[in-house]
A and B are shown apart, each in its own frame.
Chain A
């Protein structure tokens, strides 16, 4: 249900980026989502056409990369792949683990259809911020 809200936030971000790069459309949008973000990729896919209608992202291809849940064990130091509701170390069973990956909710990359090709530098530095916080 909240996937539509998240999709609307995504569209807002795409529009900001498109404006900054003087783009007329977004052609491909790549997301990275972990199961512990609380967001269902297929619901996001369903919400996307609705949220993007009439925006610069309308008709864009939405690519969702689902990331695995991995934890690092404080006891034995192993990094293991685990289930979202069982975050104990797969090697020694200790529950004192920290999440390495699995709670991502990120806009990773966007491909834009831009205006005059000579007005954009090719070396645009990607904007880097920390990943989504799902607290």
Chain B
């Protein structure tokens, strides 16, 4: 099917579809080869390459994941507005179609590279690598990678990010971590977005969401926040600045203005 119609073939994985080597020998024996290699070896190799790129330039790379419509782009817009005077940011946008999200980001004065994946349900490391060629990493502090809205597939593909940030909007249900354990287990931070709707909904318990997260043996904090009202944004921004200061510590180049400011990442309400 896909050899002819090309569905799910992305620029990133197209070369994997090429026919193999010219093997013309007559078969006359059997050989059993032990391999024990990750199935996503090629993706992981490129992800490691991306990670090295980010590290060399001291860039904090964050992979933002969530269901469609959980508010990733709205969060980025509010984050950019809050931090654009002190940090230099760029966004890689992943969507099946349209440049809409990248256009939204650009209106806030930040560079955005749109990846349209066609029918592919996730970003992979090759797509991110291609997008990185369009960004000048030397000038950046943070690259946000807004993954395709999907709680399943993006979790299986390492992009080279330093941290995974997963949004769970309060309209979705507080048992999402139990339903999508692969993604929530891989999350370094969970943001319970659209928290301004909590009083109207009444049936989403942030503590229940946290308990489900803990049952995945994941110590990641889960912050309630609303990009619209601004409630809870401060803690998220502190987390970002703290992550940047950690990165700088590791690079041996602590920047005083952010290095001692924050210790928010371990707090949980």
On whether the two chains bind one another, the answer is yes
Which one of A2, A36, A71, A105 contacts B38 once the chains associate, using CB atoms below 8 Å? A105
Q: Count contacts on A: residues with CB < 8 A to the other chain.
A: 68
Q: Which residues from chain A contact B157 at a C-beta distance below 8 Å? A: 2
Contact A84 B2 (CB under 8 A): no
Check: B131 CB closer than 8 A to any chain A CB: no
Report Cα–Cα, A36/B16, bound state, in Å: 25
Contact B31 A129 (CB under 8 A): no
Report Cα–Cα, A55/B20, bound state, in Å: 6
B221 to chain A, nearest CB (A): 14
Count of inter-chain pairs, beta carbons less than 8 A: 212
Q: Which residues from chain A contact B16 at a C-beta distance below 8 Å? A: 8-9, 11-12
Could you give, for residues 113-135 of chain A, a 1 whenever the CB lies within 8 Å of some chain B CB and a 0 otherwise? 11111001000101111111111
| Chain B interface mostly | mixed
Which one of A1, A9, A131 contacts B43 once the chains associate, using CB atoms below 8 Å? A9
Size class of the B contact interface (CB-based, 8 Å): 35 or more
Q: Which residue of B lies closest to A36 (CB)?
A: B182
Check: B214 CB closer than 8 A to any chain A CB: yes
Q: Which residues from chain B contact A96 at a C-beta distance below 8 Å? A: 217
Contact A106 B36 (CB under 8 A): yes
Q: Which residues from chain A contact B216 at a C-beta distance below 8 Å? A: 85-87
Q: Which residue of A lies closest to B8 (CB)?
A: A4
Contact B17 A8 (CB under 8 A): yes
Which one of B41, B153, B186 contacts A2 once the chains associate, using CB atoms below 8 Å? B153
Q: Which residues from chain A contact B30 at a C-beta distance below 8 Å? A: 27, 111-114
Check: B263 CB closer than 8 A to any chain A CB: no
Q: Which residues from chain B contact A39 at a C-beta distance below 8 Å? A: 39, 156
B205-247 residues with Cβ-Cβ distance < 8 A to A are 212, 214-217
Binds A, one of B71-79, B99-107, B116-124, B195-203: B116-124
Q: Which residues from chain B contact A76 at a C-beta distance below 8 Å? A: none
Q: Which residues from chain A contact B26 at a C-beta distance below 8 Å? A: 24, 115
Contact B121 A2 (CB under 8 A): yes
Check: B85 CB closer than 8 A to any chain A CB: no
Contact A107 B182 (CB under 8 A): no
B237 to chain A, nearest CB (A): 24
Q: Which residue of A lies closest to B183 (CB)?
A: A38
B179 to chain A, nearest CB (A): 7
Q: Which residue of A lies closest to B185 (CB)?
A: A36
Q: Which residue of B lies closest to A15 (CB)?
A: B20
Most chain B beta-carbon contacts within 10 A, residue among A55, A98, A132: A132
Check: B32 CB closer than 8 A to any chain A CB: yes
Contact B2 A4 (CB under 8 A): yes
Cβ-closest 8 pairs across A and B: A132-B38, A115-B25, A126-B34, A15-B20, A117-B29, A2-B153, A38-B182, A85-B181
Binding site for B on A (CB under 8 A): 1-2, 4-6, 8-13, 15, 17-19, 21-25, 27, 31, 36-39, 50-51, 53-56, 71, 84-88, 95-99, 105-117, 120, 124, 126-135
Binding site for A on B (CB under 8 A): 1-3, 8, 10, 13, 16-17, 19-21, 23-44, 47, 120-122, 124, 152-153, 155-158, 161, 164, 177-179, 181-183, 185-186, 212, 214-217
11 contacts between A and B (CB under 8 A): A6-B39, A19-B23, A50-B2, A56-B21, A86-B215, A87-B216, A97-B217, A109-B35, A115-B26, A115-B27, A133-B40
